[in-house]
Every structure is written in structure tokens, then in C-alpha cells.
């Protein structure tokens, strides 16, 4: 199952979205009103601090409305034990699968398509996240030498995502993603050359105290940062691709120029007004409206 849970239903609109979108190509921001609540059905939920229930893949969440595709507890997700739902982002894959791949015919209207639709949704979600990462890389000034390769990679990913349901169902999306990772790593290395930091790819930093740490230019791709204390830390030009930031305390931290930091990651953290976020990302609603400057030793 996913590391975070489904987003809200269409009556409320998306809770998350990417920092920027490419100037051409698909919309990479979730539009729940144009989806069939695919994330609320397709994914497995495991009872945890993220989800209050267990739910197998392919079974609608018990809070999914029967007469439409909205979440019946959207305004109460966090207090009701579903913070994972508020941090999930499909990068616009939901509406693409619903309206383009399946031409607006939902899994409720055509139950026979449900299993394939859920598999295809998982594939397109990966492709859309890849498109978002490639767009982020192309926007970096340091990526000028890579623009042709980045544009070609985006065009390939777009062609795959534009395929038929049958084509998407057999696409080896993992192999396609893996083939693109070296290019993204190259873009990251060029950007971080301005202030090279430690290589912490995949590091298990669960609960670590990193208050006021200089992490400029660090590579934290896929790092486990759950519950990490990052108050006052400097994460400018740190590569946070796929880093798990659930419950990380980023009050007063500088995330303003962090690389490949998406809205879902920010939404999973605990920040405040002193936390600097990248342009285009929203401050999560659960962050306090005011806070004192974090101090070492608090």
C-alpha cells in the first residue's frame, strides 16, 4: 500500500498539489471533482497513526459517500484519525485516468473495469510524479546543460501516460522510472554543486535531533525522516526526493530552496510561520497561525 493515504473526495477539492506545473503537458495538480475517488478505493489502508482503519485494496473507504465520490468526513480527517489522507497526492493522475483513460465511465458505472482501473491508476500516478520531478528539474537554472534530455524524458513519460488502459496495464512503469532516475540525480548534483553537502541517501534518521543543523546541499533522497527534529535547520538545496517527512518538526527550518520537495511532504510535517517553504507550495492548514522562534534545547 501507499506510504500515505488517499486524498479527499470531489466535493471538497484537492488538499495538496505540486509546487509548479510544466508550461505544456498534463495538469499535475489533483482535481478531485473530476475523479472517481480512485485513491479512496484502490489503495490498502493499514491501521496506524496515519489511518484509523484497516482497508484492503479495491474496497471503498467506509467514509466514501455512496451517492457521489466525496469524503463524508473531509473537514474532520485529522481529528478522526486520518492524517494520511490529508497528505496524499496523486499529482493529477486521478482525473487523467477517470476522464481520459476511461472517458468518464466510473468503476461504479462499469464494475467490470474496476480492477484494471485501479491498476492503471497506480501506473499513471507514478508517471505523473515522474513528470512533476522532471518539470522541477527543468526549472532549475543549473539544469541548462540537461534541458534537451529533460524535455525528451518528459515527452516519453507523457506518451506512456497517454496510452490506452490496456497499454498502461502492461507497462513496466518501474523500469521506465528507474531509467529516468540517473537524469534526475544529475540535475540534483548540478544544483547542489553550489553548496555540496553530505550524502544521506536512504539514511534511517528516525527521530534524530537535527536542530539548527546545516544540511545545505545534502542528498536525502529516500531518507527516513519520520519524527526528526529539524527546528531551525538549513535545508537549502537539499535533495528531498521521496524523503519520508511524516511528523518531522520543521518549525523555523529553511525549506525555501529545497530540491524536489512536494506538497504532500510539506503537509506531513509540523511547521510554523517561521518555516520557509518553496514558492508555489502552500502552508498546511494544521500548522499554527503563530509561533515563537524555536530555540535549541526547547
Q: How far apart are CA 82 and CA 7, in angstroms?
A: 10
From CA 20, how far away is CA 135, in angstroms rounded? 8
Q: Return the residue matching grid coordinates 507497462.
A: 171
pLDDT of residue 290: 62
Res 120: pLDDT: 98
The answer to whether the beta carbons of residues 295 and 274 sit under 8 Å apart is no
177, exposed or middle or buried, with CB in 10 Å at 0-12, 13-18, 19+? middle
Q: What pLDDT is attached to residue 25?
A: 43
SS3 270: strand
Full 3-state SS string of 23-61: CCCCCCCCCHHHCCCCHHHHCCECCCCCCCCCECCCCCC
Q: Is 193 left (phi over 0), alpha (psi -120 to 50) or beta?
A: alpha
Contacts of 2 (CB under 8 A, 6+ apart): 43, 44, 88
Cell numbers placing 152: 525528451
Q: Using an 8 Å Cβ cutoff, are 229 and 251 in contact? A: no
- Asked if 75 and 13 count as a contact pair (C-beta separation under 8 A), the reply is no
* pLDDT value at residue 296: 44
- pLDDT tens, residue by residue, 81-109: 999 999 999 999 999 999 999 999 999 99
pLDDT confidence of residue 205: 97
Q: What is the predicted pLDDT for the residue at 280?
A: 86
| pLDDT the model gives residue 27 | 82
Return the SS3 of 284: coil
Which residues is 249 bridged to in the sheet? 229, 270
Rg of the chain (C-alpha set): 19
What pLDDT score was predicted for residue 26?
53
| Whole-structure pTM value | 0.86
pLDDT, residue 22, reads: 39
pLDDT tens string 203-214: 999 999 999 999
Q: Which three three-digit cell numbers place residue 268?
A: 506531513
Q: Which residues of the chain have pLDDT under 50?
A: 1-25, 292-298
CA distances (Å), 25 to each of 126, 141, 205, in order?
A: 16, 21, 37
Residue range 229-263, pLDDT digits in tens: 999 999 999 999 999 999 999 999 999 999 999 99
In whole angstroms, give the CA distance from residue 124 to residue 10: 19
| Per-residue pLDDT, 67 | 87
Amino acid at each position: 500500500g501507499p506510504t500515505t493515504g488517499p486524498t479527499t473526495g470531489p466535493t471538497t477539492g484537492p488538499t495538496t498539489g505540486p509546487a509548479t506545473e510544466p508550461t505544456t503537458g498534463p495538469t499535475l495538480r489533483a482535481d478531485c471533482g473530476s475523479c472517481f475517488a480512485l485513491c479512496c478505493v484502490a489503495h490498502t489502508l493499514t491501521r496506524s497513526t496515519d489511518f484509523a482503519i484497516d482497508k484492503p485494496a479495491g474496497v471503498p473507504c467506509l467514509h466514501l459517500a455512496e451517492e457521489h465520490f466525496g469524503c463524508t468526513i473531509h473537514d474532520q480527517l485529522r481529528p478522526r484519525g486520518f492524517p494520511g489522507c490529508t497528505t496524499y497526492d496523486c499529482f493529477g493522475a486521478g482525473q487523467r485516468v477517470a476522464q481520459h483513460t476511461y472517458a468518464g465511465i466510473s468503476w461504479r458505472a462499469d464494475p467490470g473495469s474496476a480492477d484494471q482501473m485501479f491498476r492503471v491508476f497506480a501506473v499513471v500516478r507514478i508517471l505523473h510524479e515522474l513528470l512533476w520531478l522532471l518539470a522541477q528539474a527543468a526549472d532549475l537554472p543549473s539544469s541548462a546543460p540537461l534541458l534537451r534530455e529533460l524535455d525528451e524524458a518528459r515527452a516519453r513519460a507523457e506518451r506512456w501516460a497517454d496510452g490506452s488502459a490496456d497499454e498502461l496495464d502492461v507497462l513496466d512503469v518501474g523500469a521506465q522510472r528507474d531509467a529516468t532516475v540517473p537524469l534526475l540525480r544529475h540535475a540534483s548534483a548540478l544544483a547542489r554543486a553550489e553548496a555540496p553537502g553530505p550524502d544521506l541517501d536512504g539514511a534511517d534518521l528516525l527521530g534524530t535531533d537535527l536542530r539548527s543543523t546545516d544540511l545545505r546541499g545534502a542528498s536525502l533522497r529516500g531518507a527516513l525522516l519520520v519524527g526528526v527534529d529539524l527546528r531551525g535547520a538549513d535545508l537549502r538545496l537539499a535533495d528531498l526526493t521521496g524523503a519520508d517527512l511524516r511528523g518531522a518538526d520543521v518549525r523555523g527550518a529553511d525549506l525555501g530552496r529545497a530540491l524536489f520537495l512536494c506538497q504532500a511532504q510539506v503537509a506531513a510535517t509540523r511547521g510554523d510561520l517561521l518555516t520557509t517553504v518553496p514558492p508555489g507550495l502552500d502552508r498546511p492548514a494544521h500548522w499554527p497561525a503563530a509561533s515563537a522562534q524555536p530555540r535549541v534545547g526547547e
